């Protein structure tokens, strides 16, 4: 039986003449696990919203054609009925989690469906075990890391026992332990439930899926069984899909082999900092760091290790009701003790994980130029133009940033942060939701800017990006920096601390490829 069947589906967002989705026919069999991938802004999230009924029931626009879930048209079903059959994990868990406590969030959906209390408690236990968050059960959702919050959101989805499970970038903010738990669960339910995984990083989910579907310009550009991936590697790379390293290396059209990575050494120190945070809930952070001028430094580690808290401490985004913050910062020879936000902002740029909070202007153009205007910077036009081109934003300069896809919105926020010209730029998960081309363009832009003296501090789980572009890694665990060095030095001892090792590094390490 067909779990999902799409026929002559066309959809345009309100006020747009262009089709965000135009699919003559597409279907997913019951029990099948399908990977949906494609460039950022290609229409993946819109297709998901058509499948789960958000379009046309909640989001307006021009809609024609039909989507059926187990033979029933979503147009003829109530939203509550669809929600009981199709569970969706959103890309951004902060837009999905609404309750104060973790257990309240997980119980919320079945309570609204008036399910028996004993059954709800059983489902809570089962969902918590499935995604491995027993340690988070009694915690407040507002005090969780992005990765922890993502796993809570997934547990909440699972309590409804949906026949169709849609996971939009399910591991983008999650460490290897959490990723492993989610994949174990997906392996257990394989064949029992229908799973749709939206993901840019093919190598993570390839063992799980039966089929690979590429969405491009709102249509289905490629629809192949997993077994055909090798012969389509070149085509997938051309479409901006991030492929497993061994397929790229063995594909003669794209690579003759891995290249030696050049790492910048610290010659001049751009920023020294001592940061101490004592949260009222008990977690403490204490870290000292040196950031070299013209370097890219990655911060890695398990969810809850203190990575995002370190960035928030450096920029001063720790509320007094959250805890006590103490910082000593030296930037370009200027020494500060507990500086105010304005002082920090002159020297440090910050792209938070919840980047949507940054988007306050009504057009992409105004948003990118906002920081340069506020700081009254001159001569930044060439940099702004290059960022617009590299991040593929030229066609959206007049658009409201909040109408764009998550990947596009993140690139707008990144462009605005970089355009402000701070000497040290901090980014929290900048590659999340980005396709192969835009991650490559980001890496190249950071490399160019570091050659001009800019320094970057990046929190990420994306070990391939780190291996390709960073100069140093700070590995964190339980609020402290426990290992520091080049990617080669840190990766050799970091797997137990919550780092997914990049495939190229593993191949070199095992002497399967020449250095």
- Residue 355's Cα: distance from chain center in Å? 11
Q: Is the CB of residue 150 less than 8 Å from the CB of residue 157? A: no
Angle, helices 117-131 vs 102-112, to 10°: value is 130
Residue 91: HSE in the Cβ half-sphere, 13 Å Cα cutoff: 25
Structure-block tokens of residue 487? 């990617």
Quote the pLDDT of residue 247.
66
Answer whether 55's CB lies under 8 Å from 19's CB: no
470: its two tokens: 């960073």
Euclidean distance between CA atoms 281 and 392, whole angstroms: 42
Residue with tokens 């890219």: 296
CA angle 432, 226, 19 (to 5 degrees): 55
Tell me how far apart the alpha carbons of residues 28 and 194 are, in angstroms, rounded to a whole number: 8
Q: What is the model's pLDDT at position 505? A: 59
Cβ neighbours for 236, distance < 8 A, ≥ 6 positions apart: 202, 212, 214, 222, 229, 243
Q: What is the DSSP letter of 227?
A: G
The CA–CA distances, whole Å, from 267 to 204, 455, 480, 490 equal 37, 12, 24, 20
Residue that has been written with the tokens 């993946």 in this structure: 44
Tell me the pairing of strands 219-225 and 194-198.
unpaired
Q: For residue 435, what are the contacts with CB-CB under 8 A and spacing of at least 6?
A: 38, 39, 40, 200, 240, 241, 242, 407
- Please tell me the distance from the alpha carbon of residue 299 to that of residue 482, in angstroms, as a whole number: 11
Give the pLDDT confidence score for residue 249 in this predicted structure. 56
8 Å CB contact between 121 and 146: no
Question: Taking a C-beta distance cutoff of 8 angstroms, is the pair 471, 295 a contact?
Answer: yes
Contact 88, 157 (CB under 8 A): yes
Neighbours of 487 (CB within 10 A): 24
pLDDT score for 315: 92
The number of CA neighbours under 13 Å toward the Cβ of 344 is 20
| Structure tokens that stand for 150 in this block | 């993502």
Taking the CA of residue 51 as centre, how many other CA atoms within 13 Å lie in the half-sphere pointing to its CB? 32
What does the pLDDT read at residue 515? 44
Q: DSSP label at 140?
A: B
Helix (H) or strand (E) holding 68: strand 61-69
Model pLDDT, residue 256: 43
Helix axes 381-390, 364-374, angle to 10 degrees: 150
Cis before 212 (ω within 30): no
From CA 130, how far away is CA 186, in angstroms rounded? 9
Question: What is the full per-residue pLDDT of the chain (515 aa) written as tens digits?
Answer: 899 999 999 999 988 888 999 999 999 999 999 999 998 889 999 999 999 999 999 999 999 999 999 999 999 999 999 999 999 998 888 889 999 999 999 999 999 999 999 999 999 999 999 888 999 999 999 888 888 898 999 999 999 999 999 999 887 777 777 777 788 888 888 888 999 999 887 877 888 899 999 999 999 999 999 999 888 988 888 888 887 766 665 554 444 444 557 788 777 888 999 999 888 777 889 999 999 999 999 999 988 899 999 999 999 988 777 788 999 999 877 888 988 888 888 889 999 988 888 899 999 999 999 988 888 888 889 999 999 998 889 999 999 998 888 888 989 999 999 998 888 999 999 988 788 888 888 999 899 889 988 899 999 988 889 999 999 999 999 999 999 999 989 988 877 776 777 765 555 554 444 44
With beta carbons less than 8 A apart as the criterion, state whether 280 and 263 touch. Answer: no
Distance CA 189, CA 176 (A): 20
Please report the beta strands in 159-312, taking only residues with DSSP state E, as ranges in sequence order. 164-168, 194-198, 211-216, 219-225, 269-279, 284-292, 296-301
Q: Does residue 115 contact residue 160 with C-beta atoms inside 8 Å?
A: no
CA distance 336 to 207: 50
What is the helix, strand, coil percentage profile of the chain, to 5?
A: 40, 25, 35
Strands (E), 409-514: 424-428, 455-459, 472-477, 480-485
State residue 7's pLDDT score: 97
Q: How far apart are CA 391 and CA 238, in angstroms?
A: 17
Q: What pLDDT was estimated at residue 260?
A: 58
Record the tokens describing residue 131, joined without a space.
């995604």
Q: Whole-model pTM?
A: 0.76
Structural domains of the chain, with CATH: 2-250 (3.40.50.300), 269-354+422-509 (3.40.50.300)
Tell me how crowded residue 66 is: count the other CB atoms within 10 A of its CB.
15
CB 327 within 8 Å of CB 274: yes
Instruction: Enter the tokens of residue 37.
Output: 């991938």
How many residues are listed for the chain in this entry?
A: 515
């Amino acid at each position: 039986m067909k779990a999902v069947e799409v026929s002559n589906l066309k959809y345009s967002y309100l006020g747009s003449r262009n089709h965000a989705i135009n699919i003559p026919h597409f279907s997913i069999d019951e029990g099948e696990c399908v990977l949906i991938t494609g460039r950022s802004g290609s229409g993946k999230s819109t297709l998901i919203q058509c499948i789960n009924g958000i379009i046309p029931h909640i989001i307006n626009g021009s809609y024609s054609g039909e989507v059926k879930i187990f033979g029933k048209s979503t147009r003829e079903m109530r939203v509550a009925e669809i929600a009981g059959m199709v569970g969706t994990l959103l890309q951004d868990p902060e837009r999905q989690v609404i309750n104060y406590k973790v257990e309240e969030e997980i119980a919320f959906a079945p309570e609204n469906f008036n399910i028996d209390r004993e059954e709800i408690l059983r489902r809570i236990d089962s969902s918590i075990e499935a995604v491995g968050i027993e340690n988070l059960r009694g915690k407040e959702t507002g005090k969780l890391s992005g990765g922890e919050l993502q796993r809570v959101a997934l547990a909440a989805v699972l309590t409804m026992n949906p026949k169709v499970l849609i996971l939009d970038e399910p591991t983008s903010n999650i460490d290897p332990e959490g990723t492993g738990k989610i994949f174990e669960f997906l392996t257990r339910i394989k064949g029992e439930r229908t799973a749709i995984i939206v993901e840019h990083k093919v190598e993570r989910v390839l063992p799980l899926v039966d089929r690979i579907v590429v969405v491009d310009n709102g249509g289905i550009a490629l629809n192949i069984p997993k077994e055909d991936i090798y012969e389509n590697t070149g085509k997938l790379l051309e479409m901006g899909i991030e492929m497993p390293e061994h397929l790229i290396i063995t594909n003669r059209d794209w690579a003759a082999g891995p290249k030696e990575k050049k790492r910048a050494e610290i010659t001049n120190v751009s920023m020294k900092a001592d940061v101490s945070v004592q949260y009222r809930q008990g977690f403490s952070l204490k870290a000292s760091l040196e950031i070299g001028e013209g370097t890219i430094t990655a911060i890695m580690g398990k969810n809850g290790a203190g990575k995002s808290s370190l960035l928030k401490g450096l920029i001063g985004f720790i509320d007094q009701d959250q805890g006590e913050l103490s910082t000593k910062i030296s930037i370009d020879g200027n020494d500060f003790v507990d500086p105010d936000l304005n002082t920090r902002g002159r020297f440090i740029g910050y792209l938070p994980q919840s980047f949507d909070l940054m988007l306050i202007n009504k057009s992409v153009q105004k948003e990118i130029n906002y920081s340069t205007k506020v700081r009254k910077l001159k001569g930044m036009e060439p940099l702004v133009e290059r960022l617009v081109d590299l991040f593929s934003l030229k066609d959206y300069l007049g658009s409201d940033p909040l109408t764009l896809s998550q990947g596009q919105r993140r690139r707008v926020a990144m462009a605005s942060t970089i355009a402000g010209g701070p000497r040290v730029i901090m980014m929290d998960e900048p590659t999340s939701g980005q396709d192969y081309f835009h991650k490559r363009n980001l890496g190249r832009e950071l490399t160019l800017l570091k050659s001009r003296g800019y320094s970057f501090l990046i929190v990420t789980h994306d070990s391939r990006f780190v291996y390709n572009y960073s100069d140093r890694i700070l590995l964190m665990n339980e609020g402290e920096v426990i290992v520091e060095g080049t990617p080669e030095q840190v990766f050799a001892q970091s797997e137990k601390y919550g780092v997914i090792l990049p495939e190229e590094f593993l191949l070199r390490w095992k002497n399967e490829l020449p250095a």
